[in-house]
Structure 1
Amino acid sequence: MSWFPLAEAPVPEGGLFDFDATLPLMAIQVVVLTFILNKLFFQPVGKVVEEREGFVTTSHKDAKERLAQVQRLEQDLKAQLQQARQDAQAVIAAAEDEVATLYKSALAEAKASATRLREQARADMEAQRSAAAATLSKESRQLADLIIQRLVAI
């Protein structure tokens, strides 16, 4: 007895398509092969693909979150840098104002000191001139008296 009695049936000749027992047998083979391939290859490959897709999706989300965090940090750092620049400019302006104030006060002090020194020098010169004039006047009187005495003695 044969397993496939229909497969042993005589094949009629002619016609473009012969529909005999090989067609259902081939259909069953295709279904069984599809089922085996699905269980052995496609499901494990599908699981791996889904896992990788999940990993890629998760990694993509993490990368977007990290990028957003980096952008926030960059904005914060830019704001801090801008604030530091403004603070530095304020410190520089305050230092320039202080230097200008110190310069003006030092200049005023130097002018006052120069004026005092000039007045002191003028007073010293006036005193020396007065002393020299007094000495000259005294010496000129002595000389005049000496000349008069010599002229009268002649």
Structure 2
Amino acid sequence: MTWLLLAEAGVPEGGLFDLDATLPLMAVQVVLLTFLLNSLFFRPVGKVVEDREGYIATSRAEAKQKLEQINRLEADLQDQLRGARQAAQSAIVEAEQEVDRLYREALAEAEAEANRTREKARREIESQRESAQAQLMSQVDQLSAQIINRLLAA
């Protein structure tokens, strides 16, 4: 209470700085206001800021881990894709070789069949020629016999 009495006492007018009871009262008010602001406002805000920084730090760490995992998965998928392309390429080459082999076999078989058919046709023609020749020879023999019989009869 003495401080209040001193604060209410008359203030001498004059000098550049008047040092009276208001200076300690203002100092107490500043300390009290600082304490109240710190306990009511700055500490909760500081806690929220620290929590937020912690959340951001963990989120960044998780994001880095996920990015590394994605990079590993991407590398694995690239390797699998390379392997699949090579497998597809080898399958295409094998299929082309198989088609070429089947084509050659079919061509050889067709040529063999054509040769067999040509040989069979040649044999049939030869046998028909021989048969026709034999028939002609028999007809020639008959005609010559008839000619000789007519000549002898005449």
Fold in common (TM above 0.5): yes
For the pair 1:96 / 2:65, whether they are aligned, the reply is: no
Deviations 1:94-121, CA, capped at 9 Å, x for gaps: 1111121121122112212211221121
Name structure 1 gaps, 5 residues minimum: none
What one-letter code is carried by the residue in structure 2 that aligns with 1:39?
S
Identical residues among aligned pairs (%): 60
Q: Cα RMSD over matched residues?
A: 1.7
Greater share of residues in helix: 2
Q: Work out the CA distance in 2 between the residues paired with 1:151 and 1:56.
A: 137
CA distance in 2, matches of 1:136, 1:19: 165
Q: What does the per-residue CA deviation read over 1:56-102, in whole Å, with 9 as the maximum and x for residues that have no partner?
A: 11011101100110111011011101101101111111111112112
Give 2:33's aligned residue.
33
CA distance in structure 2 between the aligned counterparts of 1:54 and 1:89, rounded to whole angstroms: 52
How far has the Cα of 1:24 moved from its partner? Answer: 2.1
Select between 111-120 and 65-74 the one with higher mean Cα deviation: 111-120
5+ unaligned residues in a row in structure 2: which ranges? none
CA distance in structure 1 between the aligned counterparts of 2:130 and 2:104, rounded to whole angstroms = 38
Residue 108 of structure 1: aligned partner: 108
Q: TM-score, normalised by structure 1?
A: 0.90
Mapped to 1, the partners of 2:137 and 2:20 lie a distance apart of 165
User: In the alignment, what sits opposite 1:87?
Assistant: 87
Q: Indicate conservation of the 8 Å contact 2:3/2:21, yes or no.
A: no
Aligned residues between the structures: 154
Match of 2:75 in 1: 75
The amino acid across from 1:97 in the alignment is Q
Looking at structure 2, the residues matched to 134 and 141 of structure 1 have their Cα atoms a distance apart, in angstroms, of 10
Give the Cα separation in 1 of the matches to 2:61 and 2:80. 28
